[in-house]
Structure 1
């Protein structure tokens, strides 16, 4: 299933943050034959006129490149079908954030070698225990991190220095070798059922952390090998932005963000959790059943999803895919949500309401899905009136934007 929670974009489209929105706006648009007149919809104060966010990335360029890098890291089920439980993903915009996925002693290396940005993904063969943020001891769990450096020389030096810093954390750590990837820098602590590895590849360093049920060095190295095979293939399909062009990356090149309903359009800047456009892998990284999520995205023709202030809009290949995506999201919402009547007059909209099995401290009371041509909007709120207004506003904004 997919958790519908108050989590950030590390989770899927249907698990977005939904902040209480307010602001000013105007009702715009004209009726198109065969469609409703969106001027009749009760949208509250949400702006619904066609709009474009201006500007290039500037100082936010590394963040935009990090968001792009969500497609550079393999999903865990591509490493092994058993690793179907996504544990999330994260942009690493700076060394201080990156060391959440590396040893703390790694921070000076990242600073000295001028880390550009990174992206981390984690998955396992079983869900984390209830209330826990770490996999249980008997699980197989893998974290893959791609770290971008200014050039191949910096990446090569960083890989060695990261390995040296990591292995020196404990005098009990020992180096291991991979016959399949002799350039990989691998180490473990005998008797401990996990392994770490670094591999420089072009301007990237791939960092791995693999946990297995038993402390078997041969087995652990075999999992390093199969992970590197999958990750190198994925990275080979990614085209990094040249360093000189990162500051010129457009914030909203396909006007996806401008189609997401928000209360206030002012002051929006690139943010991995609050203002971003992601591709396919990002939605799979947090799914409890990654193969099922992947099939849904493929069957619906999913192309990308934009997130802004807790709402989102996904785009599919053609209009036939929009209701498929809506139904798939609803099916994966879990038993904590029941169907709830959608706003009258909003074609195709479907809504859910939290029931007694839900957790109102971590899950929103209402969630609505709004298809329009090649797009699906997702809005949520704890307030019934607000979610109705946001549903109507999302439909009106999509209609006015196309």
Structure 2
């Protein structure tokens, strides 16, 4: 299943199908709000909670989710690149080989690759049934690879270029006058270019496709992408290598505000228990232009993803309501569904005949609460109604 399938369609949440029964909720009613103790929330926990654990052995993965803020969306490289093709954590060497040549594996291992994040974008959707851009598309993959220190990154950039260049005797080196320290190569007659640039403890890896094989044109696009990525990276503070294990798993206390079936034993997982910058929402949308505007106008900051749901922190209640309206407006093959009447502001949707139940959840509900937007999904209508009630109750009890 690709990045843009069922996970991304529900803001990158993994599927959850639960059988639940009605029960009351603990908590204290707030003036002007319903008494959440009377809501039908099934067996979902709704009391105030905190995940105090640190990342431990999952430190690299947690750092990878943080790096969603360090990779520039394609649309900010060039406005024409408005079609997001996905954004994902690169948690290990095996996954990194999806973004660099397979012969790079010894380099990544010897230079102790830590983690990474990659974002893909293009100026048009992939052809139906395909996972690669059309031949006449402009497409860019930006992979940000983290190493223990700047020395390792510098060596890795040079060695990644060497092994990539050696893949074919037809490959040729190119040079950028804007970034002379970058390594570039292409195969004459082929409209693609690869590039590596070391920057502090990172290596920026680029793969650019254009409709025509013109080396000067390809270099100009590398320069454009590097300028945008370096600007994005300048505002990101990397966690020191020896402090990765100490990263809190829920530094923004957003995961604790997201409804889950069972809180016991939860560990960082990039799809079902993670906190991202809202850049992750831009990377994973078909229309990055509209999504970027929505993120900026609502003051969205972070999103916590859990099984079948998410919580996004925005500027205020108006921002939460606007974010909900924007996401519903871009939800695709869904029709309106009556939401529980005792959950203020809640909106629900159901997948229609134009949708694909193997790729998308059958039911989805949204609820804004103060500066938060909660989203829940399920393949069962009774479950999604209990989950949105539980999400409202948990947000109310958490503040």
- TM-score, normalised relative to structure 2: 0.96
2:329 is the alignment partner of 1:331: yes
Indicate the residue corresponding to 2:309 in structure 1: 311
Indicate the residue corresponding to 1:167 in structure 2: 165
Indicate the residue corresponding to 2:359 in structure 1: 362
Q: 1:228 aligns with which of 226, 229, 240?
A: 226
How many correspondences in the alignment?
A: 396
Q: 1:381 aligns with which of 374, 378, 381?
A: 378
Q: 1:391 aligns with which of 379, 388, 391?
A: 388
CA change 1:310–1:285 in 2 (3 A) is same
- Check whether the contact 1:4–1:333 (CA below 8 A) recurs between aligned residues: no
Following TM superposition, by how much is the alpha carbon of 1:221 offset from its aligned partner in structure 2, in angstroms? 0.7
Following TM superposition, by how much is the alpha carbon of 1:151 offset from its aligned partner in structure 2, in angstroms? 1.3
- Check whether the contact 1:5–1:16 (CA below 8 A) recurs between aligned residues: no
SS of equivalent to 1:302: coil
2:49 is the alignment partner of 1:32: no
Following TM superposition, by how much is the alpha carbon of 1:185 offset from its aligned partner in structure 2, in angstroms? 0.6
CA distance in 2, matches of 1:23, 1:61: 34
Q: 1:258 aligns with which of 252, 256, 260?
A: 256
Q: 127-136 or 323-332, which moves further after superposition?
A: 127-136
CA distance in 1, matches of 2:16, 2:6: 9
SS of equivalent to 2:6: coil
CA distance in 2, matches of 1:120, 1:263: 30
Runs of 5+ consecutive residues of structure 1 not aligned to the other structure? none
CA distance in 2, matches of 1:392, 1:252: 23
- Check whether the contact 2:339–2:365 (CA below 8 A) recurs between aligned residues: yes
Following TM superposition, by how much is the alpha carbon of 1:249 offset from its aligned partner in structure 2, in angstroms? 0.7
CA distance in 2, matches of 1:61, 1:26: 37
CA distance in 2, matches of 1:165, 1:23: 54
Q: 1:102 aligns with which of 93, 100, 103?
A: 100
CA distance in 2, matches of 1:246, 1:4: 29
CA distance in 1, matches of 2:19, 2:296: 35
- Check whether the contact 2:337–2:349 (CA below 8 A) recurs between aligned residues: yes
CA distance in 2, matches of 1:141, 1:254: 34
- Residue by residue, what CA displacement relative to the aligned partner does 1:193-224 show, whole Å, maximum 9, x if unpaired? 10001111111111000000011111111111
- Residue by residue, what CA displacement relative to the aligned partner does 1:19-56 show, whole Å, maximum 9, x if unpaired? 11357987210111111001111111111111111211
CA change 1:167–1:23 in 2 (3 A) is farther
CA distance in 2, matches of 1:243, 1:361: 40
- Check whether the contact 2:10–2:360 (CA below 8 A) recurs between aligned residues: no
Following TM superposition, by how much is the alpha carbon of 1:358 offset from its aligned partner in structure 2, in angstroms? 1.1
Following TM superposition, by how much is the alpha carbon of 1:255 offset from its aligned partner in structure 2, in angstroms? 1.4
Indicate the residue corresponding to 2:42 in structure 1: 44
Indicate the residue corresponding to 2:6 in structure 1: 6
Indicate the residue corresponding to 1:139 in structure 2: 137
CA change 1:5–1:377 in 2 (3 A) is farther
- Check whether the contact 2:153–2:201 (CA below 8 A) recurs between aligned residues: yes
- TM-score, normalised relative to structure 1: 0.96
- Check whether the contact 2:24–2:39 (CA below 8 A) recurs between aligned residues: no
Indicate the residue corresponding to 1:87 in structure 2: 85
Following TM superposition, by how much is the alpha carbon of 1:17 offset from its aligned partner in structure 2, in angstroms? 2.6
Indicate the residue corresponding to 1:59 in structure 2: 57
Following TM superposition, by how much is the alpha carbon of 1:353 offset from its aligned partner in structure 2, in angstroms? 1.0
- Residue by residue, what CA displacement relative to the aligned partner does 1:208-257 show, whole Å, maximum 9, x if unpaired? 00000011111111111111111111111111111122111111122100
- Check whether the contact 2:65–2:274 (CA below 8 A) recurs between aligned residues: yes
Q: 1:372 aligns with which of 351, 369, 374?
A: 369
